[in-house]
């Protein structure tokens, strides 16, 4: 499983985690992040997204 730190304007926004190699991913906002969403389709109110 691979992971990546995702930054928005030099602030750590969340983690991208590969669940199934080249097929399934999860993005989780870090609790400390208070900036804008990293995507319009991923508002901060929901802390976790899976694709």
pLDDT score, position 11: 96
| CA dist., res. 19 & res. 50, Å (int) | 9
Token digits of residue 13 = 């926004």
For the chain, the structural domain boundaries read: 3-50
pLDDT score, position 28: 97
Cβ 2 vs Cβ 22: under 8 Å:
no
Owner of token pair 């983690």 = 15
Render pLDDT for 13-28 as a digit per residue (tens, 0 to 9): 999 999 999 899 999 9
pLDDT score, position 22: 86
pLDDT score, position 13: 97
Cβ 15 vs Cβ 36: under 8 Å:
no
Whether the per-residue pLDDT at 1 is higher than 90: the answer is no
């Amino acid at each position: 499983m691979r992971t990546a730190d995702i930054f928005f304007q030099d602030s750590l926004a969340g983690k991208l985690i590969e669940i199934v190699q080249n097929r399934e991913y999860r993005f989780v906002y870090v609790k400390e992040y208070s900036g804008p969403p990293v995507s319009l389709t991923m508002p901060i109110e929901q802390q976790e997204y899976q694709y």
